Every structure is written in structure tokens, then in C-alpha cells.
Structure 1
Amino acid sequence: MPATTRALPRPLQTLITVLAAALIALAGTVLFAPAPAAHAATGIDTVAEALRKSPVYVDPRASAQLPPAEAEALAKKIEDAGKPVFVAVLPESAEFPKATVFQDLRTKVGIAGVYAIRLGDAFNAHADSKVMSRNAVRNLVGTVQRSGGDTTAMLNSFVDQADRQARGRAPASWGGGEPGVGATGLITGGAIVVAGGAGAYALYRRNKRKREEREQAELDALRVVVDEDITAFGEELDRLDFHPSEPGADDAMRRDYEEALDAYEEAKSKMAAVNHPQDVTAVTEALDKGRFALATLAARRTGAPLPERRLPCFFDPRHGPSVQDVQWAPPGGAPRTVPACAADAARVADGEEPLSRTVQTADGRQPYWNAGPAYAPWAGGYFGGGLLPGLLVGTALGGLLSGPAYAAPADTGPDGGDWTGSDYNPDDYGGGWGDGGGFGGGDGGGFGGGDW
């Protein structure tokens, strides 16, 4: 093996070997194949082969919906984001049965990710649940459908959001080539082989560096707000006038106190180990658990009723567990119900502004829900488990609170971009375009029932 190839990472060595074999096979096909038919070979196998090489495939019969230049731009957008988002534009035909097209395509591609399909005039998307939660997919598809527009507008709108919300990274098999599949793609792959793998390695390093830089910037922003939360909780513990051996202290009080101390240490330990933005969710989960333990301890000491296990105060989780739900609307937005602490509930009732948590942005201090997607993992630790998907409609954080950093299971299923073959949860891809779906006034995407 040439020295340049030996220096490559093992996945790229494998890719180059496969491309070389494909180039040889192509050479024989080009030299000895009969004249081409009116349309290139199509079907699920062809689509899947294309999507393993590039994030966008357009069937030749559907090329009027997404012309080559627009398909190339969409593919570049996905590749630059480095996320496992797959897009197929297909004609409505017997080759792509509505009831099974998602399951068939996911099985054939074999890579965990987000799959969006424009089938004739219909659009829908499904995803592996760890890559993007069902709520996130359903909400995003519904938004795209209701926004309307032509195929290019709908796909770009979907990809813009999916690239920000999807977990994982682009599959190693993508080479940054043209959308679709065929001789051009294989010849491009052959050129990489001829170049000794140097081009592929440079592309691999560039995409990896971009992903790392983007993640680091998001993590740097998160560190500030999470460190503030940890410090605030530590100060609460310092101010706490409780001693386990004091008169009147019982075992239940001591357990509450120990839980609060343990939560503080857990938050610090997990923050020290954070490597990726989504890791901070576990930190804020620990802080929320610790604040509830303090609230329970305070009730026991005063003889008050024990607090109900509720979400933290929406306006600032540092205020501790909420005590009631209130009607509130962000500036220019529609009213919605949010959990609030006693002090903020009183302010809202009096027509005053609640004491909202603000964070630093390029435009100065802003409430966290207007600060952008970087804060979704932070909010997910406080409000995970199905907090009001419509709560933040119309804000910058918006639907991201129903995205993967907020609602997806943390340790189940493959990471986005991982090869799994046919080993995936079929419930994530069940069905296709059934009756009562999101098209024409259905449920806005209809993931669970397989509706289109």
C-alpha cells in the first residue's frame, strides 16, 4: 500500500479501496454497456446508493422540482453543517410505495440520521429517535408544510432547522461530491483514488475541523451560563442555616440535605467532564434535582406541606421549583402557560415583568429563549421530558426545546452518522403517506402514525 494511503485513518482507507473497485467496475460498464435508456436506473437501491455518497438525491424524473444547481447547493449546505441529514426528491410511482418508502430507504442506506423525502407533491420526514426526537420532527415538518413554497424553499427550510437540531455527524462515506449517483460520482471517487487519497484526507480534516470549531463555540457560550448556575446553587448551600446534628433534625431532613450536597458535587463533576454541548444537559438536570431537595428540606423544617415535584421556574431556573402555572406572552408573541416561582407568578399577576434569566449575545443581554440554539442543551436539563412543545413558538430557541438536546433519549440508539444496516427501531420510520396525515390539514407531519 502506498505511503500516502497508509497515513490515512482506517475508515478512509476502506472508502478509497471501495472507490477504486467501483471505478474499475465503472470502466467496464462504460466501455461495454448498451445505449442508455430514457431514464437512469431508479428505485430504492439506486436512491440508497446515492445517499451513502452524498446527502441529496434527485430522481431524473423529478429533476424539475429541484434543478441540479439547487440540489448541489442544498447538498453543500448539509455537508458544511456536518450533520446526518438525507434528502430525496422522488416521483410518485410504484417504485416508491408511500406506505413503506421511509422504512425501505432507511434499511437500504443503513445510516442513522434524519431522512426527508419529497414524493411527488408531498413532503415528510422521519428520523432515528436519538438523532432527532419525534416531537422535533413532527413540529418541524408541520412548520415547513404550513409555510408552503416550492420544493426548493421547503427543502431548504427543513434542512436549515434539521442541520441545527440533529445529533451526530455526517457519515464518513460522504465525499462532498455532487448530489445523486452515477458515472460522475464514481469518476470523482476515482480521481480521489488517483490522487493517493490526499484530497479525501484533506476534506475529512476540513469537515472535522469545522464541526469541532462550531461545537467549541457553542460550548464556550454554554460554560458561562452553566457555571453561573453552579455558583448560584453553591451560594444557596452556603447560606443554608442547617446542621444535620441540630435539635429537631430528623433522618428525612438529613437525606434532603445530603441529596442537595450530592447534586452540587455531581453538577461540578459533570461540568468538568463536558466535551460536547449536549453534555451540559446532565449538569442542569443535577442542579434541578438539588434545588428540589433544598425546597423539600425547607418545607420539612417549617412544617409546611411538602412541595410538589414540578418543573423549575421558566423565567429563571435558579429561582427553584415552580409553584404554579401562569399565562404569559413574550413581546409580540401569543400567550402561553408557563411554570413560575411564587415571586414571578406574583409579578405576572400584577402586570409586571418577571425576573427573566438573561445571557450574553452578539446583540447584548437577552432572555435565554431569544439567545439562539446554543442554549437548547442547557434548557433541556431543566425542562426535559416533554415540556410544552408550543411554549416557545415565535422565539429564537423555539422548537429546539423539542429537539434532540431537549427531548431525545441520551443513551439509546445509534449516534447520527453511524452505520447500523437494518438494525434500527422501525417505529421511528413506520408508515408513509396514510390517511389523516399532515398533508392537507392533518397533524402537521404525522410521525407516529406514518401519515403524510
Structure 2
Amino acid sequence: MSALRRPSPGALPRLLTGLLLAALVLLVGAGALPQPAHAAGTGLDTVAEALKKSPVYVDPRVRDQLPDADRNALAEKIRNADKPVFVAVLPDAPEFPRATLLRDLRTKVGITGVYAVHIGANGFNAGADRQVLPHNAASNLKLAAQHSHTGDTKGMVTEFAQQAATQAHGEAPSSWNDGAGGGSATGLLIGGAVVVAGGVGGYALLRRARKQRQERERAELDALRVVVDEDITAFGEELDRLDFNPSEPGATDAMRTDYTSALDAYDLAKTRMAEARRPEDVRPVTEALEDGRFALATLAARRTGAPLPERRLPCFFDPRHGPSTADVQWAPPGGAPRPVPACAADATRVADGLEPMSRTVQTPGGPQPYWDAGPAYSPWAGGYFGGGGVLTAMVAGTVLGSVLSAPSAYADSPSFFNGPEGGSESGADFNAADFAGGFGDGGGFDGGGFDGGGGDW
């Protein structure tokens, strides 16, 4: 009996090609390949089907408000951000009743995400599933875009989409990668390829997801690095200004210990930041800086004979201000007042009815307070304030608050409010209250806006 021969190295690729070509011939012979599309409809079903395949839809009747080149550019930005942000630009027509439009569109698309609709001359509304973007954040982004770009459809939807993409959680829906056409024949062809190729497709998806996560973490760490370097530099300048010599007359062992602790904290912060590879690695850096600032405050008290300071949290408004001296009442826009620790200067400003000197960081939309700058600042703040319930209570109602309320923010597990992750299919199972509000023509909440109280949503 002759020995079995091992297939040549090129046999499998040739076999795969042959099988695919055979399937293609059969599909063509059966007339199953997709035919040229007919003119697109303009109803809500058409809009929903289009958004399942691409992040931006513009009704042909209002194409002049967002021309094809601008539409494609915005869609590309959203795809590159890999976030579930949907934008529709529609005419003021009977098939798009404003009272139920946003909610019905979310129902028909059936994917968790952020939804924005521009209608008519200047009507604009937006909503988001809570696990993707906090209620207040969606409302505030909507109003900011309205106020900044009244009468400018392109500017309004572009600013909203870009800002939403920087703050939204989850990933772009997989259906955006399927292209705009294909029908059942494409499904058959893809099915045949999967059968032949085995697990190749699954491996490619895993690699893509891993690459996207690494790119996201790299971008977040780059943004954090700027902020943390500023913190380290500020602490180094405090050490330079310190007029203390361990051998000076009157120096005690306790003073020298405080001074050494501050120097060690500075060196540790620099070392940990140099070693950081993920956003979570920033937390030990800010922990070290906080320890160092308390050591300096203790040293200052020993040198002047003042009572030793109580170990308190740093100033909430800007940890570079050093340890807090009192708790003050503060509330984010639209949120409830809550006590937060403040340094002496900020406590005085708040008592006088002035705005505290809050720490702002750069975002694609310009400077923002760190508590509204995105999920990357969770470990940064956690190092200063310890994370957990204390910090969560202080930033409730902000972007950072939503992150801290969701332990899965940096994990590949179900998202914040025990619902489907952003970009996944949920059908009609969503909280309609998240899409409550009205179309503001020229700004405002149109009778109550997102938080209820008017607006027939």
C-alpha cells in the first residue's frame, strides 16, 4: 500500500480559493448576488437601517446642511474613535414627528449608544443609554453644541459627536464593519468563507479588539502623562522653594524625617510615572505626591511651632493646592450640593460666592474640569482621594462620577448600569427616560429638556 502524501504548502490556499470561486459561480448562476440598490427611502426605518451600517445619516432633502464630504469626514472621525455615537440630519417632515423621534429612532436602531438628531433649520436633540454616557453629560453636551453653533448644522453635530466620542463608553457596533450592502447573498458567501477558514475570523476579531484597547489606553495615558508631569513639576518647585537645611540650627530628627519623606515621595513619583504603561499605573504616582505634600505640611508646622496638621484629603478643586483645611458645599452644574474638602484659599472663595480655582485639563473640546474630562482621570483622582465611596460621592453627577460608579470601566466586562455595553444590540430594551427632552430651536431645553418637566418626550 502506498504511503499517504502530505499536502504541499500551497495546497490549502488553492483549495480555499477554489471553494470560494465555486460558491461565487453558484451564487451568480442562481441570481443571488446583490442587485443595484433602488433609490433610498426617507422614513424612520430607512434612517435606522442606515445608522446600523454607518454612524452618520443625512436625508437627501437636507444634504446641503451636511454635504457628502462633511458627512463622510464626521463618520470617519466617529469610526476612528471606536465609540457608539449615532448622528442623523433630517428635514422637518411629517414622517419625523419631534415628540417621539429620538426615542423611536433608538428603538428601531436597537443598539446602545449616544444618539443625536438635527431636524429642520435648527432643531437639535440628543440622548444616550446610561451605560454609555451619563444623563447630565448628554444634556450638557447638547446645550453646549446648540449655544456654540446656532444656525450651523455642520458645527453643531460635529462638536456634539466629537465631544460625545471622547466621553462615551463602549465600542462601535460591529455592524459598522459590515459595509452598506450585500444582502442575503453576501451572508451566504461570508458563511461559506467562515466554514472554510475556520477560526481565522474569530482570531482576527480578537486581535482587533486587543489593538483597539491598547490604542485607547495609550491615548489615555498620553493625556494623563501631561497632567501628572505638571503635578510632579509643581511639587518639585515646592521643594525648591523650601528654605530648609537638615543641618541648620534647630532642626530636629522629626523635621529631617519629614524632609526625607518629601524627597523620597518626589523620587518615587518620577520613577512610577516613567514606568507607567497603562492609565491604572498613574494611581501610585498621585498617591506618592499626596504623601509628599502632607510631609511638607507637617514639616512647616514643626518649624513654626504650630499644631501638627490633621491628615485630610487634598483640596478637591486642585490637589496641587495641598491638604484641605475645611469642607465646603459644592455642586456640579445641575447636581445636588455635597461637602468636598478645600484648601484655605478655595474655602474662602466659595464662602464669598466666587468660583474656586479648579484644576482644568485639556480635552478635544477645550479645557474641562478634571471631573468632566473622561474616564482616564479615574486612577489619577483615586491616587489623591483614595477612590471608593468617598470620591464617588464627591463627583456624583459628573463624568468621573459615572466612571467610579462602574467598577468595569477598565475591564472587559458588562458595563456601568448592568445593561448591554455601548455598541451592543439591545433592541427596544432601554430606558426611555434617557431620551426624554425636546428639540431646542436656537438653544435651551424647549420646555424642560432632558431632566423632565416639559418637553413631550
TM-score by length of 2: 0.56
Shift of residue 23, structure 1, vs aligned partner: 11
2:126 aligned residue: 125
1:403 corresponds to which of 380, 399, 403: 399
Contact 2:58/2:71, CA 8 A, preserved across alignment: yes
**Helix, strand or coil at the partner of 2:378:** helix
Contact 1:325/1:339, CA 8 A, preserved across alignment: yes
* Residues 1:192 and 1:408: Cα distance change in structure 2 (over 3 Å): farther
Mapped partners of 2:28, 2:220: distance in 1? 41
1:446 aligned residue: 449
Deviations 1:25-49 (A, max 9, x none): 9968848x9xx6xx63222211111
Q: What is the aligned length?
A: 349
Deviations 1:350-391 (A, max 9, x none): xxxx99989999xxxx998599757533466555457598xx
1:59 aligned residue: 59
Mapped partners of 2:177, 2:185: distance in 1? 9
* Residues 1:200 and 1:344: Cα distance change in structure 2 (over 3 Å): same
| 2:52 maps to 1:49 | no
Shift of residue 439, structure 1, vs aligned partner: 3.1
2:429 aligned residue: 423
Contact 1:376/1:405, CA 8 A, preserved across alignment: no
Shift of residue 277, structure 1, vs aligned partner: 5.0
* Aligned residue runs from structure 1 range 77-96, under 5 A: 77-96=77-96
Amino acid of the structure 2 residue aligned with 1:86: F
CA RMSD of aligned residues (A): 6.0
Amino acid of the structure 2 residue aligned with 1:415: E
* Aligned residue runs from structure 1 range 99-248, under 5 A: 99-121=99-121, 122-148=123-149, 149-175=151-177, 177=179, 193=190, 196=193, 209-219=211-221, 222=224
Shift of residue 341, structure 1, vs aligned partner: 2.6
Contact 2:86/2:116, CA 8 A, preserved across alignment: yes
Q: Structure 2: which 5+ runs fail to align?
A: 1-11, 17-26, 236-253, 255-275, 291-309, 331-338, 386-390, 407-415
Between 379-388 and 43-52, report the one with greater CA deviation: 379-388
* Residues 1:276 and 1:136: Cα distance change in structure 2 (over 3 Å): farther
Mapped partners of 1:280, 1:406: distance in 2? 19
Mapped partners of 2:34, 2:341: distance in 1? 65
Deviations 1:151-172 (A, max 9, x none): 1111111112111011111011
Contact 1:92/1:119, CA 8 A, preserved across alignment: yes
* Residues 1:338 and 1:425: Cα distance change in structure 2 (over 3 Å): same
Q: Structure 1: which 5+ runs fail to align?
A: 8-21, 233-238, 240-273, 289-305, 328-336, 390-401
* Residues 1:128 and 1:355: Cα distance change in structure 2 (over 3 Å): closer
Amino acid of the structure 1 residue aligned with 2:421: D
Deviations 1:419-446 (A, max 9, x none): 111111111113543xxxx434524892
Query: Identity of aligned pairs, percent?
Result: 48
* Residues 1:324 and 1:69: Cα distance change in structure 2 (over 3 Å): same
Amino acid of the structure 1 residue aligned with 2:62: A
Mapped partners of 2:176, 2:130: distance in 1? 22
User: Rg bigger for which structure?
Assistant: 2
Contact 1:130/1:408, CA 8 A, preserved across alignment: no
Flag the structure with more relative contact order, 1 or 2, with Cα contacts below 8 A and sequence separation at least 6: 1
Amino acid of the structure 2 residue aligned with 1:446: G
1:70 aligned residue: 70
